[in-house]
Chain A
Amino acid sequence: MWAVARYELTWDLRKKRTYIILSLFLFAAFVFGYLLPTIVGKSIVAGTSLQGVSPGSDLWWVSAHNLAYNTFVSGLFPLFIGGFIAADSIGSEFDGDTIVPLLSQPVKRMEVYAGKLLEKVLLLLVASTFFTLLVIAGSEASVGAQSHLDMIPLVVFAEFGAFLEYTAFAFLVGSLVRSGTTTLGVLITVFILILGTVLIVSLNMGEQEYMFLLPTVNADFLLKVVFYYIFQPFGVMVLQGGILGALSVPVTVTVISALGYAVAGLLANLLAAFATGYYFFRRAEVKG
């Protein structure tokens, strides 16, 4: 399994796509963590759902939140880093027939699948930690010393979970369609369709708690809820303007309840996607 993980890491580290995505993220970390706080001075991106609980000049977590999830554009990052990098992982192995020498070795398919997953877990953990620290460094450079650094692990967990959720779907789609390009197309289409559907439902009926269970919505929601939980574990959160600032009907839910939905949704999505993905991978035939 470690040998497969090493094989996968070598691949990821030599892909142009990986560096393009990481460069985008570095640029965004700079913009959200340093540039905008410097220009605006205090809380960045007015109208975010977190500005009401922002503790004074402590900007890093607001920046991290905004960077990762709070706008539609930055909401693409989990898709980029978790989904786009992983789109190649299984689909392209079948596309390019490189799956043949891999599956011809005396190794269980479970080990191949788990090895690839292990590498993604480690890669995403490093990426989540790195970007969180980068945002903190940016905010420190911009507005001075930051506090609440004890919440770093929770923020990293939320980012990691969101990234991994997209990876899980990339594994599922890749195992099902056995093509890297198609996997990429399906991920983008599903992302747009779910966000579009949620937007329409939200505008007509207000945000519903079950939405937090949906793939991509759950990933986007996770970090927001984690921040609320840290500052107001027994409070309530008002859900409004969550998507493109267009939500007109505010909904109030307890933070605990929202966190429960977010974490349950994350675990359920990860489990379902990885397990179903493995089912298809196990049965996949190498034709051609």
Chain B
Amino acid sequence: MSSSPHTSLELALEVKNLMKSYGAYPGVWDVSLAVERGTLHGFLGPNGSGKTTTMKCIMGLLHKTSGMIRLFGEEPDGDAVQMKKRVGYMPESPSFPTYLKGREVLLTYGRIRGTSGGRRLDEECMSLLQKVGLTAAAEKTVGKYSRGMLTRLGLAVALLGRPDLLILDEPTEGLDPVGVIEVRDILRGVVSEGGSVLLSSHQLPEVQQMCNRVTIVNQGRTVIEGSVDALAKRLHGGVVYKAEFESLSPELMSKLKRIDGVSEVEVLRDNVIRVVVSKDYDVRPFLARSATEYGSLLLSCEREEASLEELFLTLVKEGD
């Protein structure tokens, strides 16, 4: 994995060489990740790769076997009460006492959290319910909530007290498309206000769209960490362009391969090629000029968006 260029002070969360074993069975072998302050950090991995175990270790719900966890530059000790005041956590399938109403759930955990008292807490709870779209279900008992509603309520509980860091395990699980967009907006709002978010998800396009950086784990180990673009570059060995020409002669192909920085040229279909550029510059003017030089025309050329899914599958396959 790539080493983090950041100091602990810039990080909301830092996990290094985390190991958690259940007797002989290793839950997590060697997970490292760093969540920068003010960023949305994706945490990816196939089922059973150790994402939830890592998150539970961070929250003190599981006791780590070895490794280091730092929240806001400090290692939590004991119950980590002071640090937990700055962290909101949402588990994969949030469960709340079924006899409580939605509003009561927030009031209850708000009181335990010691967020604020009396009317202020009540106002905060109603505002959070509105934020996650549960105002209409505020007086309904949690036992009657659907999976999606529980996810929304779980997010509201995590947002109690405006924490600096949100740790969310599959926060869009069970949500309809509208719900997914709403959650995305909420999380972007948190980040725009200076907060940080670590979220695990199976929705790769979602993570790609939302997250600045990602960590990919497989079989209990961190496979790679970095920005989505940087990781894609690493996968392809550079930036990828897809270009369509009027005609494609062997001479033109040969010329394209000689352009400075082009590391690979591959024919995808008739007159359509894929160009990999190892240097970070716009290769399109050079392609257009070369086409004209060899009696052809560049009809279209677009930079291919890095596919996290492709990267994810490649890395996971390598790991297997």
Q: Do A and B come from one complex?
A: yes
Interface string of A94-123 (1 = CB under 8 A from B): 001110111111111110000000000000
Question: What are the residues of chain B within 8 A of A108 when measuring CB–CB?
Answer: 78-79, 81
CB of B258 to closest CB in A, whole Å: 59
CB of A20 to closest CB in B, whole Å: 15
CA distance A286 to B104 in the complex (A): 24
Question: Does B97 lie within 8 Å of A98, measured CB to CB?
Answer: yes
Q: How many A-B residue pairs have CB under 8 A?
A: 80
Q: Which residue of A lies closest to B59 (CB)?
A: A104
Question: Does B61 lie within 8 Å of A104, measured CB to CB?
Answer: yes
Question: Does A286 lie within 8 Å of B112, measured CB to CB?
Answer: no
Question: Does A286 lie within 8 Å of B62, measured CB to CB?
Answer: yes
Question: How many residues of B are counted as interface, with CB atoms below 8 angstroms from the partner's CB atoms?
Answer: 34
CA distance A3 to B97 in the complex (A): 15
Question: Does B97 lie within 8 Å of A11, measured CB to CB?
Answer: yes
Question: How many residues of A are counted as interface, with CB atoms below 8 angstroms from the partner's CB atoms?
Answer: 26
Identify whether the interface residues of B are mostly helix, strand, loop, or mixed.
Answer: loop
CB of B205 to closest CB in A, whole Å: 28
Question: Does B79 lie within 8 Å of A7, measured CB to CB?
Answer: no
Question: What are the residues of chain A within 8 A of B56 when measuring CB–CB?
Answer: 286
CA distance A247 to B98 in the complex (A): 48
> CB of B94 within 8 A of chain A?
yes
For chain B, residues 76 to 97, give those with C-beta under 8 angstroms from any C-beta of chain A: 78-85, 89, 91, 93-97
Question: What are the residues of chain A within 8 A of B108 when measuring CB–CB?
Answer: 3, 6-7, 10
Question: Does B96 lie within 8 Å of A98, measured CB to CB?
Answer: yes
Residues A105 and B91 in contact in the complex (CB < 8 Å), given A10-B100, A98-B97:
no
> CB of B63 within 8 A of chain A?
yes
Question: What are the residues of chain B within 8 A of A287 when measuring CB–CB?
Answer: 22, 62
For chain B, residues 123 to 170, give those with C-beta under 8 angstroms from any C-beta of chain A: 154, 157
> CB of B114 within 8 A of chain A?
yes
When the two chains form the complex, which single residue of A7, A100, A110 contacts B95, counting CB atoms closer than 8 Å? Answer: A100
Question: Does A285 lie within 8 Å of B112, measured CB to CB?
Answer: no
> CB of A4 within 8 A of chain B?
yes
> CB of B255 within 8 A of chain A?
no
Q: Which residue, B62, B80, B84, has most C-beta atoms of chain A within 10 A?
A: B84
Q: Which residue, A10, A101, A103, A283, has most C-beta atoms of chain B within 10 A?
A: A101
Question: What are the residues of chain A within 8 A of B85 when measuring CB–CB?
Answer: 106
Question: What are the residues of chain A within 8 A of B78 when measuring CB–CB?
Answer: 108
CA distance A102 to B56 in the complex (A): 13
Question: Does B157 lie within 8 Å of A101, measured CB to CB?
Answer: yes
CB of A214 to closest CB in B, whole Å: 34
Q: Which residue of B lies closest to A97 (CB)?
A: B95
Question: What are the residues of chain A within 8 A of B95 when measuring CB–CB?
Answer: 96-98, 100-101
For chain B, residues 288 to 310, give those with C-beta under 8 angstroms from any C-beta of chain A: none
> CB of B113 within 8 A of chain A?
yes
> CB of B111 within 8 A of chain A?
yes
Question: Does B81 lie within 8 Å of A107, measured CB to CB?
Answer: yes
For chain A, residues 3 to 24, give those with C-beta under 8 angstroms from any C-beta of chain B: 3-4, 6-7, 10-11, 14-15
Question: Does A102 lie within 8 Å of B112, measured CB to CB?
Answer: yes
Residues A100 and B61 in contact in the complex (CB < 8 Å), given A11-B99, A105-B113, A286-B56:
yes
Question: What are the residues of chain A within 8 A of B80 when measuring CB–CB?
Answer: 106
CB of B199 to closest CB in A, whole Å: 16
Residues A107 and B96 in contact in the complex (CB < 8 Å), given A6-B111, A285-B61:
no
Q: Which residue of A lies closest to B57 (CB)?
A: A285
CB of B165 to closest CB in A, whole Å: 12
CB of A283 to closest CB in B, whole Å: 8
Q: Which residue of A lies closest to B141 (CB)?
A: A14
Q: Rank and list the top 8 A-B pairs by shortest CB-CB distance, nearest first.
A: A106-B84, A97-B95, A3-B111, A286-B61, A14-B99, A106-B85, A104-B89, A108-B79
Q: Measuring CB to CB, which residues of chain B are less than 8 angstroms from any residue of chain A?
A: 22, 56, 59-63, 78-85, 89, 91, 93-100, 104, 108-109, 111-114, 154, 157
Q: Measuring CB to CB, which residues of chain A are less than 8 angstroms from any residue of chain B?
A: 3-4, 6-7, 10-11, 14-15, 96-98, 100-110, 283, 285-287
If A10-B99, A287-B62 are given as contacts, then 5 extra A-B residue pairs at C-beta distance below 8 Å, sorted by A number, are A7-B111, A101-B91, A107-B79, A107-B114, A108-B81
30 A-B residue pairings within 8 Å (CB atoms): A3-B112, A4-B112, A6-B111, A7-B111, A10-B100, A14-B99, A96-B98, A97-B91, A97-B95, A98-B97, A100-B61, A100-B91, A100-B94, A100-B95, A101-B91, A101-B95, A101-B109, A103-B60, A104-B59, A104-B84, A105-B84, A106-B82, A107-B114, A108-B79, A108-B81, A109-B79, A286-B61, A286-B62, A287-B22, A287-B62
